[in-house]
Amino acid sequence: MSLRLLSLIGLVAFFGLWTLIALSGLVQPRFLPTPLAVARQFVELIEKPFVGYTLQVHLLSSLGRFAMGFGLAVAVGVPLGLLMGWFRRLDAIVTPLFDALRFVAPIAWVPFAALWFGTGIGGPVLIIFTGAFPPCVINAYRGAKFVEPRFIEAARMLGVGHVRMVTEVLLPASVPSIVAGLRISAGLGWQSLIGAELIVASSGIGYLMVKGQSNISTAIVMSGMIAIGIVGVAIDVALRALQARIERHRQ
Amino acid sequence: MLIAWYVLTTATQIIAPTRFPAPREVWDALRQIALTGYADARLHGHILHSVKLVLMGFAVAVATGVPLGLAMGWSRRIEALANPAFLLIRPIPPLAWIPLAIVWLGLGDAAKVLVIWFAAFVPSVINSYAGVRAIEPHMLEAARMLGIGRWTLVREVLVPGAAPMIFTGLRLSMQACWTTLVAGELIGAAAGLGRVLSQGALDIFPAMILVGMVGVAFAGGVMTWALGWIELRAMPWRR
């Protein structure tokens, strides 16, 4: 039997079993709708607004927060990581603090985020930032630490100062490591966003799911999960394309 | 750091106490929760409750995820059969399962164990699968030449060969579990560190929030460390 056929069987079995359980009457449809009902709900959410907005608009407001938190994490984290890789003293000051903070799950920042920045945009953005920040720093730091010593020596011989050393030697050399970090960071940031929106937000995809949950509508919750999955994959594909392009460029 | 904290919050009050607690308040909050209790339990009760749920969900995930990953790595047929469904589930972040678990099981412990299971399941499967695939083919061939049985092969070759990757997966799983549990408890729980955080947020009690965060970091750190210790014991040949 060919492997492709087996894959097809696996897929059919997954949806078949799901449909069978849903139709069997063992569980109420509002707890387990059929796949078809979920698809219908998904389309309906796109066409008709739910808790104020349509699905696309909820997604857009989530993506806006994501872009801000992620952008901030990159803008602060990458330079910090590079500088830590160059200045030993900065490394010695920041690393213990950073290691201590890293054990705090991003989601545990939610109460402080709400207290400091409210539940509109600021709070969720802080959560995304705390999720996306560590991989940016770590990968930029590693990239800067493992630059080939002969480059640094050559630059030193030419009398390059601290600033140019970081921007013109360390930064270009650590780009692959940084981009790899961006992928991890985007994944974690997107996850943290969902968590933040489940707890503090008045719009966005996580908020839509919470409302679906309080209406006991499994179909809405599942539609939200599908949308989150699709966007998460799209973000990763975009960053992977960036990674591939940079690698090609360097050769 | 500690001095800067003291100066900013206590001596000069540049940072208002309603925004970030002073060292003294944190100490008082810690004493309060440890000795008399806060949010219906004392500190060790909250920590034990959270850790217990994480270990339960984690154990279920390992018991289901690792065998599935090993089987998918071992047999191309099982991989073909299970992969499509797995690929559909994989991009959904663990936290996104929380509302579904609440609809199905309510705000109790069962919903949390379910979510933790999902959170830890995906990394367990992926890494066990990758671990088996990373075993050098000639090892498998040599084992087959020696004519060892199926179960001996699994026990003596597959599991030890995949062990380093499996443990990498378990570490990722553990982190995912912990984050997910805290999120779940923040949304609604009768006890646990997330409950301390959410109660602290409701009462606008920054010192207690900070104590809760330190608790989260501490318990997460201890569990990661314990897993590392088990890893060393489980793979003596790696030392």
Q: Is the pLDDT of residue B8 over 80?
A: no
Instruction: Determine which of A50-64, B9-23, B56-70 has the lowest per-residue pLDDT on average.
Output: B9-23
Cα first-last separation, chain B: 37
Say yes or no: A135 and A12 in one domain. no
Say yes or no: A19 and A143 in one domain. no
Residue A135, Ramachandran bin (φ over 0: left; ψ between -120 and 50: alpha; else beta): alpha
- B48 vs B25, residue with greater confidence: B48
- Sign of the CA dihedral with A84 first, then A89, A91, and A93 last: negative
What is the number of structural domains in chain B?
1
- Sign of the CA dihedral with B16 first, then B18, B20, and B22 last: positive
Helix (H, G, I), strand (E, B) or coil at B192: coil
Say yes or no: A4 and A116 in one domain. no
Task: Identify which of B114, B235, B225 has the alpha carbon closest to the alpha carbon of residue B174.
Answer: B225
Say yes or no: A47 and A13 in one domain. no
Task: Identify which of B155, B167, B175 has the alpha carbon closest to the alpha carbon of residue B66.
Answer: B167
- B238 vs A54, residue with greater confidence: A54
For the whole prediction, is pTM greater than 0.90? no
Residue A18: domain span:
1-28
| Per-residue confidence (pLDDT) for residue B18, from 0 to 100 | 65
Task: Identify which of A33, A20, A27, A25 has the alpha carbon closest to the alpha carbon of residue A218.
Answer: A33
Q: What is the pLDDT of residues A168-217, one digit of tens each?
A: 788 888 888 888 889 889 988 998 888 888 887 778 888 888 888 888 88
Instruction: Determine which of A97-101, B8-12, B164-168, B197-201 has the lowest per-residue pLDDT on average.
Output: B8-12
What is the number of structural domains in chain A?
2
Residue B52, domain CATH: 1.10.3720.10
Say yes or no: A19 and A101 in one domain. no
Say yes or no: A157 and A202 in one domain. yes
Helix (H, G, I), strand (E, B) or coil at B189: coil
Instruction: Say yes or no: A134 contacts chain B, CB-CB below 8 A.
Output: no
Domain assignment present for residue B12? The answer is: no
- Give the tokens for residue A141: 């730091």
Say yes or no: A1 and A52 in one domain. no
- Give the tokens for residue A91: 């490394």
Report the 10 Å Cβ neighbour count for B75. Answer: 13
- B145 vs B61, residue with greater confidence: B61
Mean pLDDT of chain B: 82
Say yes or no: A1 and A46 in one domain. no
Say yes or no: A54 and A22 in one domain. no
Residue B233: domain span:
24-238
d(CA B181, CA B111): 10
Residue A68, domain CATH: 1.10.3720.10
Say yes or no: A103 and A156 in one domain. yes
- For B:27-86, CB contacts with A below 8 A are 76-77, 80-85
Q: Which residues of chain A have pLDDT under 50?
A: none
Report the 10 Å Cβ neighbour count for A56. Answer: 11
Say yes or no: A125 and A186 in one domain. yes
Say yes or no: A127 and A18 in one domain. no
A94 neighbourhood in chain B, CB within 8 Å: none
Domain assignment present for residue B11? The answer is: no
Angle in degrees, CA A10, B70, B225, rounded to 5: 125
Interface mutation vs chain B, best among A17, A50, A199, most B CBs within 10 Å: A199
